[in-house]
């Protein structure tokens, strides 16, 4: 290794890149998942059960009723919402309303550096309205101390809160990375205009509670109010993060997998270049097992050293990946806030173990070959002929056997939510094409030997013959290139297909010229509707527009998280449409308008097993719904599936006992009837009109900007994927370099004999370049074919099993057409070190040794 520092460092860099990417991705997602789990556990505290009303809030009169029940030890009403400081560009943080006395037995809120004098601060929280305790990160960000004021903005109100002190960074105060504040529940209700209402009631029960006791509590609850486990929300969030974690982990493993070919290549190269040494060792008494351990330990050393080199690379990568991963999870799935990266001993050990194991596994076959070196064969001149007569067809048969079982295996069901069969199918596909590479090189070598002989002369013809006869040594690195190109092709197709489908969905279903909703509606899960006076103002808009109001609820169907959206289908159908998969749109739309059924998304259908003809059942804000499913549509909301229902009929159901029909809107889309006018100008004018009448209490987003933001989020989501693919391609290029170097070293006598009998340096250089060309073209062609198979698995198997959605299959021919020549040019540059090796030693010195 010291003698050949260049190729050793090349392999170590490849392993280090693979290990660094794998480790950084794992640590980033683990930190996000750990932050989410700790937040959920801390905010739950010692809660045994939670009283909730799906889609609505609970009356606070239930607290006293529950406390009188014998098995209830403690009950604490809770309200929470995200609020925003009025400072420009300040991020929202979580405000929690609690009763400090009732909540003490469930959660341990602690004031920082508490002493006897500070104990009275808890009483101040009860005595004085609009006071709060804040977490340390908020105190640092806004430079707040006890007695300072902070103006907070909720949906339709701004108020000044006085800071009583800071929360100790422990227990529930670590939620959201410490970006949290607590206030008295009475202040919270006044600030948010939720008098008499609470989000939930957390219960702590006495020991040895029986099922009969729980049934007794359920009988106490009014219709539409339920008793549920506090772990349900945590489980659904964890499942979404873990599905994302699995896909990114598999993708990050690709770099390590490609690095496996590097280790194989260099160990095989070292074994081939030192056959004389091995023969001498055997002749003076060294055992075959000693030679085996020599090269196996070389692989182990490369793994350990590569992993150690990965540590500084990981420390650099993880800073950027942690931000990107946590932001993606927050935008797509559940809100996480990672303040500090906590190093997990298990993740470090896993990274080390996988890196070293892969390196040792890669070195195993070359080490086995080295232990069978025959001194007579190695020291004889005719040894090369024996090596080159191995047939590649046996490996091709094994490769076709693996590929044959890919599709049947991919159709097997998921196991505990994990698409194991799909990932095994991908592994078999990549392995099968890698086994085909010797046969592919043999065929391409024959073809190019004839074709290039006329185009490139004798050097090109000899290059084709050398590639044809290079055997498994060259095919290993070509297999690495096949893997990298296949993954690149598959992911380019998948991302392009996904993007094209999402763009169609956005333009059809997320249609609208102007979207109106309460401030911070998205982050607060649309729990706060528009006030009646705002609804009246919108209805009285003096412009030729159509309104599509809606209400949205975040719910659970068994353990599946989904959104229920009630909307005005009649007006929506004039300007937009759904992206149907199952059902008849022309027959179903009139029934939807009349409230005779619901539409469900593909994700909801896959998570629940419900489809067209089945009945959707739920209870939302006290309204019992049992409606037939009229169709299944594509919808790409990442926070679970979606169910659509008629807004008018939904409001009639929830107001069935009321004295009069009351309209409640969570938001509204506005469409201009005249589609030929300058929409941007009229949208701008309408925004000004609404601002004059409603002030800045509304979030007003133009439809064009809304759709642009969705596509921007999509592009940012796959930015990490692009980085991982680039690293895999770099590692594959290093593999080509080592393979060419191995071929040159094995044929150094032949090449220098050609030089000695009159061959030119230019001809030798040309021959090595042609060899690189044939190897890369073979790898790209096989990788391209493998990539199309792989893309089909990703689109129709892995994504569906992991996230519950599929999309239209589209090929980005432009991206593939541009990238493949660039990969070829890059790989040809990788042949330069091999060319340099040809001229490093003079022909006379080398031939004298023979």
Give pLDDT tens digits for 244-259.
666 666 666 666 766 6
Q: How many other CB atoms sit within 10 Å of the CB of residue 225?
A: 20
Give pLDDT tens digits for 427-486.
899 888 888 888 888 888 877 777 766 677 788 888 788 777 775 556 766 777 787 788
Whether 845 has a pLDDT exceeding 60, the answer reads: no
Give pLDDT tens digits for 684-715.
888 888 888 877 778 888 988 888 888 887 77
3-state secondary structure (DSSP) of residue 394: helix
Question: Can you give the residue ranges of every domain in the chain?
Answer: 1-44+250-380, 48-229, 406-513+703-850, 520-696
Q: Please, what is the average pLDDT of the chain? A: 81
Whether 659 has a pLDDT exceeding 50, the answer reads: no
Q: What does the DSSP assignment read for 202-228?
A: EEEEPSS--HHHHHHHHHHSPTT-EEE
What does the CA dihedral 151, 155, 157, 160 come to, rounded to 10 degrees?
-20
Q: How many other CB atoms sit within 10 Å of the CB of residue 845?
A: 9
How do 598-601 and 623-634 pair as beta strands?
parallel
Rounded to whole angstroms, the Cα distance separating 769 from 835 reads 8
Tell me the CA distances in angstroms from 39 to 3, 556, 620, one per residue in order: 54, 20, 27
Whether 240 has a pLDDT exceeding 90, the answer reads: no
Both tokens assigned to 419: 């698409």
Q: Which of 497, 396, 494, 492 is CA-nearest to residue 728?
A: 492
Whether 381 has a pLDDT exceeding 80, the answer reads: no
Phi-psi label, residue 595: left if phi above 0, alpha if psi -120 to 50, beta otherwise: left
Output the pLDDT for position 645. 95
Output the pLDDT for position 120. 76
Whether 291 has a pLDDT exceeding 80, the answer reads: yes
Give pLDDT tens digits for 763-772.
877 887 787 7
Tell me the CA distances in angstroms from 790 to 487, 501, 777, 784, 786, one per residue in order: 7, 19, 19, 10, 6
Both tokens assigned to 45: 């505290």
Query: Over the range 84-113, which residues count as b (16 or more CB within 10 Å of their CB) and which as e?
Result: bbeeeeeebbbbbbbbbebbeebbebebbe
Ranked by mean pLDDT, the top range of 129-143, 257-271, 319-333 is 129-143
Q: At 180, which helix (H) or strand (E)?
A: strand 180-184
Q: Which of 120-134, 137-151, 181-195, 812-826 has the lowest mean pLDDT?
A: 812-826
Output the pLDDT for position 477. 66
Separation of first and last alpha carbons in the chain:
24
Output the pLDDT for position 794. 85
Residue 160 CB burial class (10 angstroms; 0-12, 13-18, ≥19): exposed
Output the pLDDT for position 597. 94
Rounded to whole angstroms, the Cα distance separating 246 from 257 reads 16
Tell me the CA distances in angstroms from 681 to 506, 547, 687, one per residue in order: 22, 19, 10
How do 58-59 and 197-198 pair as beta strands?
antiparallel
| Per-residue confidence band for 761, with pLDDT thresholds at 50, 70 and 90 | confident
3-state secondary structure (DSSP) of residue 292: helix
Both tokens assigned to 410: 């991919």
How do 514-518 and 698-702 pair as beta strands?
antiparallel
């Amino acid at each position: 290794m010291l003698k050949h520092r260049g190729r050793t460092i090349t392999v170590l860099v490849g392993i280090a890149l693979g290990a660094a990417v794998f480790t950084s991705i794992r640590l980033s997602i683990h930190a996000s998942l750990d932050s989410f789990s700790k937040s959920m556990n801390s905010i739950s505290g010692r809660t045994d059960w939670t009283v909730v009303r799906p889609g609505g809030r609970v009356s606070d009169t239930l607290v006293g009723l529950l406390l009188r029940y014998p098995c209830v030890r403690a009950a604490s009403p809770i309200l929470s919402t995200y609020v925003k400081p009025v400072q420009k560009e300040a991020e929202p943080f979580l405000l929690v309303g609690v009763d400090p006395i009732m909540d003490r037995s469930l959660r341990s809120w602690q004031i920082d550096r508490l002493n006897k004098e500070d104990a009275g601060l808890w009483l101040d929280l009860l005595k004085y309205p609009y006071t709060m305790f804040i977490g340390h990160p908020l105190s640092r960000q806004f430079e707040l101390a006890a007695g300072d004021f902070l103006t907070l903005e909720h949906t339709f109100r701004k108020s000044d809160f006085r800071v009583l002190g800071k929360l100790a960074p422990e227990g529930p105060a670590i939620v959201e990375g410490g970006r949290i504040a607590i206030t008295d529940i009475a202040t919270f209700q006044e600030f948010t205009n939720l008098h008499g209402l609470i989000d939930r009631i957390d219960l702590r029960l006495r020991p040895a509670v029986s099922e009969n006791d729980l049934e007794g509590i359920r009988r106490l609850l009014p219709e539409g109010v339920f008793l549920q486990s506090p772990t349900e929300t945590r489980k659904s969030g964890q499942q979404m993060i873990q599905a994302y974690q699995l896909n990114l982990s598999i993708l990050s493993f690709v770099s390590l997998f490609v690095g496996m070919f590097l280790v194989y290549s260099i160990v095989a190269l070292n074994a081939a270049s030192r056959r004389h040494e091995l023969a001498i060792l055997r002749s003076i008494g060294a055992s075959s097992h000693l030679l085996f351990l020599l090269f196996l330990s070389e692989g182990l050393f490369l793994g350990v050293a590569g992993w150690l080199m990965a540590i500084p690379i990981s420390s650099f990568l993880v800073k950027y990946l942690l931000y990107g991963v946590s932001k993606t999870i927050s935008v797509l799935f559940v809100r996480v806030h990672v303040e500090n990266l906590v190093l997990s001993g298990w993740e470090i050990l896993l990274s080390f173990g996988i890196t070293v194991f892969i390196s040792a596994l890669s070195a195993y076959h070359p080490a086995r070959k080295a232990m069978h070196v025959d001194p007579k064969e190695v020291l004889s001149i005719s040894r090369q002929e024996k090596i080159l007569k191995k047939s590649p067809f046996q490996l091709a048969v094994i490769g076709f056997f693996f590929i044959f079982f890919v599709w049947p295996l991919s159709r097997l069901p998921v196991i505990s939510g994990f698409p194991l069969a799909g990932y095994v199918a991908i592994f078999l596909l990549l392995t099968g094409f890698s086994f085909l590479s010797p046969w592919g090189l043999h065929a391409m070598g024959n073809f190019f030997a004839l074709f290039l002989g006329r185009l490139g002369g004798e050097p090109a013809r000899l290059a084709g013959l050398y590639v044809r006869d290079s055997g498994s040594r060259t095919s290993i690195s070509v297999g690495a290139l096949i893997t990298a190109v296949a993954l690149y092709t598959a992911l380019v197709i998948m991302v392009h297909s996904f993007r094209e489908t999402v763009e169609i969905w956005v333009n059809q279903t997320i249609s609208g010229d102007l979207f109106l909703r309460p401030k911070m509606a998205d982050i607060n899960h649309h729990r706060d509707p528009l006030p009646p006076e705002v609804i009246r103002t919108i209805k009285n808009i003096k412009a030729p527009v159509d309104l599509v109001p809606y209400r949205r609820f975040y719910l659970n169907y068994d353990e599946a998280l989904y959104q229920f959206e009630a909307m005005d289908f009649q007006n929506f159908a004039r300007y937009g449409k759904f992206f149907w998969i199952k059902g008849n749109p022309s027959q179903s739309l009139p029934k939807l308008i009349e409230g005779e059924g619901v539409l469900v998304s593909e994700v909801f259908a896959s998570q629940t097993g419900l489809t067209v003809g089945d009945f959707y059942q739920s209870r939302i804000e006290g309204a019992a719904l049992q409606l037939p499913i009229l169709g299944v549509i594509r919808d790409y909301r990442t926070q679970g599936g979606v169910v659509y229902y008629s807004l008018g009929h939904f409001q009639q159901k929830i107001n069935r006992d009321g004295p009069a029909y009351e309209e409640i809107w969570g938001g509204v889309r506005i469409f201009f009837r005249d589609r030929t006018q300058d929409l941007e100008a009229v949208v701008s004018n309408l925004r000004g009109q609404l601002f004059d009448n409603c002030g800045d209490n509304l979030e007003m987003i133009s439809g064009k900007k809304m759709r642009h933001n969705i596509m921007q989020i999509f592009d940012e989501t796959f930015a990490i994927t692009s980085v991982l693919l680039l690293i895999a391609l770099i590692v594959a290029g290093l593999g080509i370099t080592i393979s060419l170097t191995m071929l040159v070293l094995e044929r150094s006598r032949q090449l220098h004999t050609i030089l000695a009998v009159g061959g030119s340096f230019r001809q030798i250089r040309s021959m090595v370049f042609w060899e690189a060309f044939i190897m890369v073209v073979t790898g790209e062609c096989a990788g391209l074919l493998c990539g199309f198979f792989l893309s089909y698995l990703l689109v129709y198997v892995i994504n569906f099993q992991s996230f519950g959605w599929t999309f239209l299959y589209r090929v980005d021919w432009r991206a593939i057409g541009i990238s493949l020549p660039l990969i070829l040019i890059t790989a040809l540059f990788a042949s330069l070190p091999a060319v340099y090796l040809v001229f490093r030693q003079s022909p006379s010195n080398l031939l004298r040794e023979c």
